[in-house]
C-alpha cells in the first residue's frame, strides 16, 4: 500500500515537471519570435563636444516596436560626428544629440544657434562658491559708480543686468555630469549678441557677481537696482540748483506829503476863559 502511494506521488511530480518544461519552452520560443533591429548605442560615456569614433560605439538588439526616433543602425554613419550633449554608456545615439554634419569638436559645437559664448573672470565668491556648473542658469549683477550729474556726485549702485544665463563651461571643462563644486578662475556663458555687448560694458565699468537660480524658474524680474543710501535707509537728497531765482522788486510805497502840506482841520476850544486851537 505504501509503495502505491509513493509511486503515485512520483508520477504526479513527473507530470508537474513535464508541464513546467513545456510551458517554459513555449515562452522561450515566443520571446525569440519578437522582431528586433540593431541600434547604435554608446559603449562608453561620451562628453559633450566630443568627436565620435567607432571605439565609442556598439550595436545592440532593440525591439522593432519601440525604436527611438532618430536612432542609427550603422556605426559608420556616425563617424566624425560631434555630440552636443553628454551621452551615457548604453544610451542610444540619436540625431537630436548630435551637432550638424561638418561641425568641429569643442565648445563651439554646443552653442545654440544665434547665441554667443563669452568668458568672464570669477573667484570663489563671484563664482557662487563653485556651484555654478555647466548646465546651470545664473543671473549677472554689476556693482558700479553711476555717472556724475550736475550738482551731485555719482552714486554707488548694484543692479541685475542679465537674467537666466546658461553656463556653458567652467574653466576649460564643459562636462555637465559632475555635481561637485569647482573653484575656478573663469566661467563661460551663453548669450545673445545684445547681451554680450551689455556684459562687456558691465565688466568694464564695475564688479560682476553671479547669482545662481533654479533651473526651472523662467520668470524675469525687472528692478531699478539699489544705491548705498537706499541700502541704509537714507532718503535721497535732491540736488541743489545753481540758478538763483530773481527776487520780486519791492512795491513802492507812495511818498507821504510833508506835514506842512497836509490839509488839516482845526477846532477852537474855549475853556475857563482860555482859548486853545486843536488841529487834526
Same domain, 78 and 41: yes
Same domain, 136 and 187: yes
How many other CB atoms are there within 10 angstroms of residue 136's CB atom? 19
Last residue within a domain, chosen from 71, 94, 109: 109
How many other CB atoms are there within 10 angstroms of residue 92's CB atom? 17
Last residue within a domain, chosen from 109, 126, 152: 109
- What residues contact 122, with CB distance under 8 A and at least 6 apart? 132, 184, 185, 186, 187, 208, 210
Same domain, 70 and 155: no
Same domain, 74 and 131: no
Single pTM value for the model? 0.58
Same domain, 57 and 164: no
Tracing cell 556663458 back to the chain, one arrives at 189
Last residue within a domain, chosen from 109, 139, 156: 109
pLDDT of residue 199: 92
Q: Is residue 252 part of a domain?
A: no
Q: Are 145 and 94 in contact (CB under 8 A)?
A: no
Number of structural domains the chain divides into: 2
Same domain, 73 and 133: no
- In this predicted structure, the answer to whether residue 184 has a pLDDT above a threshold of 50 is yes
pLDDT tens readout for residues 145-164: 887 765 456 688 899 999 99
Tell me the mean pLDDT in the region 104-120: 83
Q: Is residue 11 part of a domain?
A: no
Same domain, 165 and 223: yes
Q: Is residue 22 part of a domain?
A: no
Tell me what percent of the residues of the chain surpass a pLDDT of 90.
11
Q: Which residue has the higher pLDDT, 52 or 271?
A: 52
Q: Is residue 244 part of a domain?
A: no
pLDDT tens readout for residues 233-268: 876 554 444 444 445 555 555 555 454 445 557 767
Same domain, 125 and 207: yes
Domain residues for the domain of 208 are: 116-232
Same domain, 122 and 100: no
Task: Give the C-alpha separation, 183 to 192, whole Å.
Answer: 26
Same domain, 190 and 95: no
Same domain, 89 and 50: yes
Tell me the mean pLDDT in the region 213-223: 85
Amino acid at each position: 500500500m505504501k509503495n502505491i502511494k509513493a509511486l503515485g506521488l512520483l508520477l504526479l511530480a513527473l507530470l508537474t515537471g513535464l508541464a513546467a518544461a513545456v510551458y517554459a519552452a513555449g515562452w522561450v520560443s515566443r520571446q525569440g519570435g519578437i522582431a528586433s533591429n540593431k541600434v547604435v548605442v554608446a559603449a562608453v560615456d561620451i562628453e559633450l563636444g566630443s568627436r565620435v569614433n567607432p571605439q565609442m560605439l556598439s550595436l545592440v538588439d532593440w525591439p522593432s516596436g519601440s525604436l527611438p526616433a532618430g536612432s542609427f543602425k550603422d556605426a559608420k554613419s556616425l563617424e566624425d560626428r560631434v555630440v552636443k550633449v553628454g551621452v551615457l554608456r548604453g544610451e542610444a545615439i540619436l540625431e537630436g544629440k548630435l551637432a550638424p554634419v561638418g561641425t568641429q569638436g569643442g565648445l563651439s559645437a554646443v552653442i545654440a544657434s544665434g547665441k554667443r559664448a563669452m568668458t568672464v573672470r570669477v573667484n570663489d565668491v563671484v563664482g557662487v562658491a563653485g556651484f555654478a556648473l555647466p548646465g546651470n542658469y545664473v543671473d549677472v549683477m554689476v556693482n558700479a559708480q553711476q555717472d556724475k550729474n550736475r550738482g551731485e556726485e555719482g552714486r554707488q549702485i548694484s543692479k541685475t543686468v542679465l537674467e537666466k544665463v546658461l553656463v556653458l563651461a567652467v574653466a576649460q571643462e564643459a562636462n555637465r555630469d559632475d555635481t561637485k563644486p569647482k573653484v575656478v578662475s573663469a566661467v563661460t556663458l551663453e548669450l545673445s549678441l545684445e547681451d554680450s555687448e551689455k556684459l562687456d560694458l558691465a565688466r568694464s565699468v564695475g564688479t560682476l557677481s553671479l547669482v545662481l537660480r533654479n533651473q526651472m524658474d523662467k520668470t524675469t524680474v525687472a528692478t531699478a537696482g539699489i544705491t548705498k543710501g537706499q541700502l541704509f535707509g537714507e532718503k535721497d537728497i535732491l540736488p541743489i540748483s545753481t540758478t538763483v531765482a530773481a527776487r520780486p522788486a519791492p512795491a513802492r510805497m507812495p511818498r507821504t506829503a510833508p506835514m506842512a502840506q497836509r490839509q488839516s482841520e482845526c477846532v477852537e476850544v474855549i475853556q475857563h476863559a482860555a482859548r486853545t486851537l486843536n488841529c487834526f
